[in-house]
Structure 1
Amino acid sequence: MEQKQQSERLGSEPIPKLLMNLSIPAMIGMFVMAFYNLVDTIYISHGVGIDAVAGVTIAFPLMMIMMAVAAAVGIGGASVISRRLGERREEEANKVFGNMLFTVVLFSLMGGVAAFTLLEPMLRLFGATDAILVYATEYMFPILLGTFFFSFAFSTNNIIRSEGNARFAMMTMIIPAILNIILSPIFIFGFSMGVQGAAFATVISQASVCGVILRYFIKGKSTLTIYLSDIIKPKLHVIKEIIIIGLPAFVRQVSGSIMMIAINTMLIKFGSEFHVGVFGMVQRVAMFALMPMMGILQGMQPIIGYNYGAKQFDRLRETVWLGLKISTGFSALVFIIMMTLPDLFMRIFTSDMEIIQAGTEGMRILFLGAILIGAQVISGGLYQALGKAKPALILSMARQVLFLIPLVLILPHFLGVNGVWFAFPIADILSFTLSAVFFYRDRNLFLFKSKANSVNTDKAQLTS
């Protein structure tokens, strides 16, 4: 009964209180995760050097592909489960969960095989030069072997949030992050393992939290129940629904991977490995800055999915308005901080003035369009929460595939290394404009009550 009430509060509790209760734990968890990525880069920079940071940056697109699959399974499954729970179809929600776990296991086996067969060719394809290939390989080999731990933890975190248990979802992010922060210096400095030590610390941390998550489901603390029959006897139509809804998240993550490959390639072509290392540092700061907006979106998605399934459209609109206001406020704060204090962030990584100067200049340019980021993040996530794959896919592709990647490939020919940095604010402006167009088309669902004030009218207003 307690677990059922946990989900049902998504349709009854006041929206401001509910959004706060779901978003703040998500923000804290994501802040801690971003912080450990930041700390890892600091350890590697001080313990090994700028070439090692460049090697990890080159390897990062491969890790993003891993997380893209986990995101497709986790976010897609969470969207389906939220709507099933809103429709009071608990048994079907359990079947969706079991099919998710089957997909995670299958993908994990593929990751282990890739570690022994495809790692070096993929890293070469991603732009690794002889100077940094060894660092990239040492980092990614343990990560690929631990594919199951990353995929299981990431996908189930979305499920835990989809049923409204934001606090435990937060803990599943905080636990591995704290363990990683503790273990990384031990492996890097104490055992003199360099970048491979950072990777081992990450895998061990993720493995530890998987045990905590598994216990949560087995002990009946979740609304959902794991049935072995659903795992060993998957249903193709269920997996298809999960993947279709999760496809925008997959595209967004893979687009990020392709974007990283394009950036690294252009930085090496018009600069050197040095610039790849600098970008790796700036990227960690950018990830940290995005966490408030991502936390708000994660808090909104289960509310939107549940109330859409329960046909409570007024609550859906209230959630959208509040989420947009808060995310825009955070975006403005990020813009102000990055315009005034970028050098302070670079000094965290190094005392080398050449690196600090290059990173400071790049960071100021990169964040010129930061005030628009909040609305972009929210827009794509809304359609995903509603299970509307087509508009979610378009908005997920817009910033990185339609705008950023072409700009990264074109602008450096005219502006050199600075062309990579300028590609970001221009892409932000263009993708914000596209998001505004979609919002205007579906304003009767997201922003304003339709004149007919009926369920059918509300649903008809949504771009399919």
Structure 2
Amino acid sequence: MEKVSSEQLGSEPIGKLLVKQAVPAAIGILVMSLNVLVDSIFVGNWIGSIAIAAINVVLPVSFFIAALGMAIGIGGSSIISRALGSNNLEKALKTFGNQITLTLIISLVFVGFGLFFVDDLIPAFGGKGDIFNPAKIYYVIVLYGVPLLGFSMLGSSVIRAEGKPKFAMVALIIPSIGNLFMDYIFIYVLDWGMHGAAWATTIAYFLSCSYVFYFFVSKNSELKISWKHLKLDVEVLKQIASLGFVTLSRQAAISIIYLLMNNILFNLGGEAMVAVYAIIGRMLMFALFPVFGITQGFLPIAGFNYGANKLSRVRESINTAIKYAAVLATVVFLGLMLFPQEIASLFLSSNPNLTAKELATNAFVLEHTPSAMRWVFAATPIIAIQLIGAAYFQAIGKAIPALLLTLTRQGFFFIPLILILPSYLGEFGVWISFPISDFLATLVTGYYLRKEVKKNLIVKT
């Protein structure tokens, strides 16, 4: 694999650099998303549509705990990028060591909490009726592997902050491919059902963690920490927490949304309606992978150049990232608008031996998913401004505006909308909440990003 240095973040042309950073990130996200997508297709075809709904119920809990690693990783990586940009290696090392210790402590505490309240959490997140038992099976097994996932998410963010996106890509590809292979063995060959799906996921977390650990102990990493760096430092923790809280808040908002959506949709249409959202949720993770790749690639570029006081490059990176992301988002939008029926059918079993209830569920899902998908993704072409704008403030270490802009779409607009509109518009009120919140959040983010650029990124000649 090509030997790269963080110094390239401050010297290469922005367009070329963004592609170099974003493509591996996008491929990694694509493979990881394909893993979730194909996993759902396997589960839907080999176990049943109720099993898809069961996994969807578990996602908010495991997703939030795993998000702790991502939050600590991205929060600390912003500090590391700027420290490397200003040639402060010791600060980068201390930050990374504190990230590791913090991730280990918090993830173990939350796993213990999650296991203790298992029977209360699953129904609260929509695991009711026929969904409860398969959801509990999946939840308990997967939760054991969450600390491994937390370290993997932390590690991949730090790898990217070092300017080594290809290694971060591999960290996502290895567990994804491993999970699909083990899905086939455990579910199809051994017929372990939900147990097989859960063990495949947990073992995949172990594979990812193992690769990340290998990267940092090998010659590939510039960050060679010692025991002293693992000792918690209050000032470093404050910086990690302030920036990591942005990512954690976003992930927490997503978990709350899953909780609300699963319960609202269960009340509107039972298990079948939850299955509709499960399919759409998978597409929300999968379809936007190129846009998320641009966002991930943008973060270290903006952070490094801001730390090096190369403001013209920061401004250029914002404009280039928005342009690239907008084009890719439009392509995704067209695909989803044209083929929603075909996409929905991929998740449903064609087994002729299905029970009458399973056949009825499949028919309901196939009827309702295409229209819902079109509404959910209706504002996709404009989300680039929203994503890049919030990411910019996080990259340069401005935690408060990053937090507020991150929560604008999910917290300030979407959650109130889904609590209000379904009362008047039923199922349609749920789906229309997505594009309305996207549009409003884009307006707010665009305004503050433009104001920030004019105030602090003006290049004097």
Q: Identify whether the pair has TM-score above 0.5, normalized to the shorter chain.
A: yes
Would the aligned equivalents of 1:293 and 1:374 in 2 still touch at CA under 8 Å?
yes
Alignment correspondent of 1:239: 237
Change (3 A) 1:174 1:274: same
Encode CA deviations 1:62-99: one digit per residue, 9 max, x unaligned: 12211221121000010010011111110111011000
Change (3 A) 1:315 1:445: farther
Corresponding residue SS for 2:221: coil
Would the aligned equivalents of 2:379 and 2:438 in 1 still touch at CA under 8 Å?
yes
Would the aligned equivalents of 1:111 and 1:145 in 2 still touch at CA under 8 Å?
no
Matched, 1:436 2:434: no
In structure 2, C-alpha distance between the alignment counterparts of 1:443 and 1:104, rounded to whole Å:
34
In structure 2, C-alpha distance between the alignment counterparts of 1:380 and 1:196, rounded to whole Å:
39
Would the aligned equivalents of 2:75 and 2:242 in 1 still touch at CA under 8 Å?
yes
In structure 2, C-alpha distance between the alignment counterparts of 1:22 and 1:114, rounded to whole Å:
37
Would the aligned equivalents of 2:98 and 2:236 in 1 still touch at CA under 8 Å?
yes
How much does 1:186 deviate? 1.3
Would the aligned equivalents of 2:337 and 2:374 in 1 still touch at CA under 8 Å?
yes
Aligned positions of 1:50-449 closer than 5 A: 50-231=49-230, 233-350=231-348, 351=350, 352-444=362-454, 449=458
One-letter amino acid matched to 2:75: G
Would the aligned equivalents of 2:250 and 2:407 in 1 still touch at CA under 8 Å?
yes
In structure 2, C-alpha distance between the alignment counterparts of 1:120 and 1:403, rounded to whole Å:
31
Would the aligned equivalents of 1:61 and 1:257 in 2 still touch at CA under 8 Å?
yes
In structure 2, C-alpha distance between the alignment counterparts of 1:415 and 1:215, rounded to whole Å:
53
One-letter amino acid matched to 1:309: G
How much does 1:406 deviate? 0.9
Change (3 A) 1:156 1:113: same
Encode CA deviations 1:332-389: one digit per residue, 9 max, x unaligned: 1122111111111111111544322211111011111111122211111111011100
How much does 1:196 deviate? 2.5
Alignment correspondent of 1:458: none
One-letter amino acid matched to 2:448: F
One-letter amino acid matched to 1:67: A
One-letter amino acid matched to 2:323: K
Change (3 A) 1:445 1:6: farther
Corresponding residue SS for 1:175: helix
Would the aligned equivalents of 1:86 and 1:306 in 2 still touch at CA under 8 Å?
yes
In structure 2, C-alpha distance between the alignment counterparts of 1:67 and 1:391, rounded to whole Å:
24
Aligned positions of 1:3-42 closer than 5 A: 6-42=5-41
Change (3 A) 1:247 1:427: same
Corresponding residue SS for 1:368: coil
How much does 1:445 deviate? 5.8
Corresponding residue SS for 1:411: helix
Encode CA deviations 1:27-56: one digit per residue, 9 max, x unaligned: 000000000000111111112212111111
Corresponding residue SS for 2:229: helix
In structure 2, C-alpha distance between the alignment counterparts of 1:174 and 1:399, rounded to whole Å:
29
Encode CA deviations 1:292-313: one digit per residue, 9 max, x unaligned: 1110011111010000000000
Aligned residues: 448
In structure 2, C-alpha distance between the alignment counterparts of 1:385 and 1:229, rounded to whole Å:
27
In structure 2, C-alpha distance between the alignment counterparts of 1:155 and 1:398, rounded to whole Å:
25
In structure 2, C-alpha distance between the alignment counterparts of 1:425 and 1:203, rounded to whole Å:
34
- Structure 1 unmatched runs, 5+: 454-464
Would the aligned equivalents of 2:82 and 2:306 in 1 still touch at CA under 8 Å?
yes
Would the aligned equivalents of 1:143 and 1:200 in 2 still touch at CA under 8 Å?
yes
How much does 1:282 deviate? 1.4
In structure 2, C-alpha distance between the alignment counterparts of 1:387 and 1:433, rounded to whole Å:
22
Would the aligned equivalents of 1:114 and 1:144 in 2 still touch at CA under 8 Å?
no
How much does 1:441 deviate? 1.3
In structure 2, C-alpha distance between the alignment counterparts of 1:383 and 1:108, rounded to whole Å:
26
Would the aligned equivalents of 2:58 and 2:135 in 1 still touch at CA under 8 Å?
yes
Encode CA deviations 1:105-162: one digit per residue, 9 max, x unaligned: 1023214423531222111222221321111111111121112210010111000000
In structure 2, C-alpha distance between the alignment counterparts of 1:178 and 1:68, rounded to whole Å:
21
In structure 1, C-alpha distance between the alignment counterparts of 2:127 and 2:210, rounded to whole Å:
35
How much does 1:190 deviate? 2.2
Would the aligned equivalents of 1:67 and 1:253 in 2 still touch at CA under 8 Å?
no
In structure 2, C-alpha distance between the alignment counterparts of 1:168 and 1:66, rounded to whole Å:
24
Q: What RMSD in Å do the two structures reach over aligned CA positions?
A: 1.6
Would the aligned equivalents of 1:80 and 1:387 in 2 still touch at CA under 8 Å?
yes
Would the aligned equivalents of 1:25 and 1:167 in 2 still touch at CA under 8 Å?
yes
Q: Percent identity?
A: 35
In structure 1, C-alpha distance between the alignment counterparts of 2:376 and 2:161, rounded to whole Å:
33
Alignment correspondent of 1:459: none
Q: Which runs of 4+ in 1 moved over 4 A?
A: none
In structure 1, C-alpha distance between the alignment counterparts of 2:225 and 2:194, rounded to whole Å:
37
Would the aligned equivalents of 1:61 and 1:256 in 2 still touch at CA under 8 Å?
yes
* TM-score between the two structures when normalised by the length of structure 2: 0.94
